[in-house]
Amino acid sequence: MKKGHFFIIWWVAGAGKWTLTWNLRKLNREDFYFPLSYITRKPRPNEEKWVYAHFITEEEFKKSIENNEFLEYAFVHKWWYYWTKANDIVKNWINAWLKVIKEMEYQWVGQIQKDKEFMTDVTTIFLDVPDEELIRRIKKRDKTISEKEVENRLESAKKERKFWKKADYKIITTITKEEVLKKALEIINKHNK
**154-177 pLDDT, tens digit each:** 888 888 888 777 789 999 999 999
pLDDT at residue number 183: 97
pTM, 2 dp = 0.78
Top pLDDT among 53 and 149 is at 149
Top pLDDT among 24 and 102 is at 24
33, β-bridge pairs: 100
pLDDT at residue number 27: 96
Percentage above 90 pLDDT, the chain: 24
CB 176, CB 158: distance < 8 Å = no
Sheet order of strands, 70-76 included: 53-55, 37-39, 80-85, 70-76
pLDDT at residue number 184: 97
Domains of the chain: 5-189 (3.40.50.300)
Q: CA 13: distance to chain centroid?
A: 10
Q: What is the DSSP string of 81-150?
A: EEEEE-TTHHHHHHHTT-EEEEE--HHHHHHHHH-TTTGGGEEEEEEE--HHHHHHHHHHH-TT--HHHH
pLDDT at residue number 30: 92
Closest CA to 72 of 82, 61, 59: 82
Query: Mean pLDDT across the stretch 179-185?
Result: 97
